[in-house]
Chains A and B, each alone.
Chain A
């Protein structure tokens, strides 16, 4: 599963939620909808829509309880060449 570049729904632990809402300055409660920039051993690097585009936050794996990804099977583009 390649999450980089995908829009996902993140289910965070209480601690993770508190951290995210404090740092991202977001009022709404979990789940968090974010765009994944990258994943690595440390955790998941996300961009929250509420912040500036270049703003990226690392959520450590221990904060993440689950991730929901909507597979867009129908979204196919193609060309002949």
Chain B
């Protein structure tokens, strides 16, 4: 399974962490970022700290999406043998997860609201899990076993 995070956002925790590391440990800015710093009238160091915070948060989001993806894929495999999640891409600005799955016949694309996933990952709530399963019912329905007469 492949997992992607599109765009970046920074959490308060990572922002604080980025303010605390020595300037010589900050990742260097490329020309585009230097120009952006100039445009935004902030020092290159300040801009680099902000970029670093975003990188930290982006990596955490990626790990989080991987954990969720593995969980979701395990559920899909049990509910619909032969189906699997192939890729998950979190669009940070839209707040949606774009899911690419494969059932026994075709590729299936669908979206999950990031808030729902976050509610599930932070509370483990039954209600959130049920909502996720309802989405699977629509896009990757459980296979019906035909009864032999």
Q: Which residue of B lies closest to A6 (CB)?
A: B9
Contacts beyond the supplied A2-B95, A72-B8, A80-B2: 12 A-B pairs with Cβ under 8 Å: A4-B9, A5-B8, A5-B11, A7-B10, A49-B50, A69-B93, A71-B7, A76-B5, A76-B7, A76-B89, A78-B2, A79-B2
Q: B-side binding surface: helix, strand, loop or mixed? A: mixed
Taking Cβ atoms with an 8 Å cutoff, the residues of A that contact B are 1-2, 4-7, 28, 33, 35, 37, 47, 49, 53-54, 56, 69, 71-73, 75-81
In angstroms, Cα B9 to Cα A72, docked, is 10
In the complex, chain A residues whose CB is within 8 Å of the CB of B15: 35, 47, 53
Min CB distance, B58 to chain A, in Å?
A: 6
By beta carbon, the residue of chain B nearest A47 is: B15
Q: How many A-B contacts at CB < 8 Å in the complex?
A: 82
CB-based nearest B residue for A52: B19
B40 within 8 A of A: yes
Residues from 4 to 25 in B contacting A, C-beta threshold 8 Å: 4-12, 15-16, 19
Q: Are A53's CB and B12's CB within 8 A? A: yes
A–B complex contacts, Cβ < 8 Å, 30 sampled: A2-B94, A4-B9, A5-B8, A5-B11, A6-B9, A6-B92, A7-B10, A7-B50, A33-B42, A37-B12, A49-B42, A49-B46, A49-B50, A53-B16, A75-B6, A76-B4, A76-B5, A76-B6, A76-B7, A77-B4, A78-B3, A78-B5, A78-B89, A79-B66, A80-B1, A80-B2, A80-B3, A81-B1, A81-B3, A81-B69
Task: Name which of A5, A47, A78, A81 has the most chain B CB atoms within 10 A of its CB.
Answer: A5
Q: Mark B14-56, 1 if CB is under 8 A from A, else 0.
A: 0110010000000000000000000011100010001000100
Query: Shortest distance in angstroms between A10's beta carbon and chain B's nearest beta carbon?
Result: 12
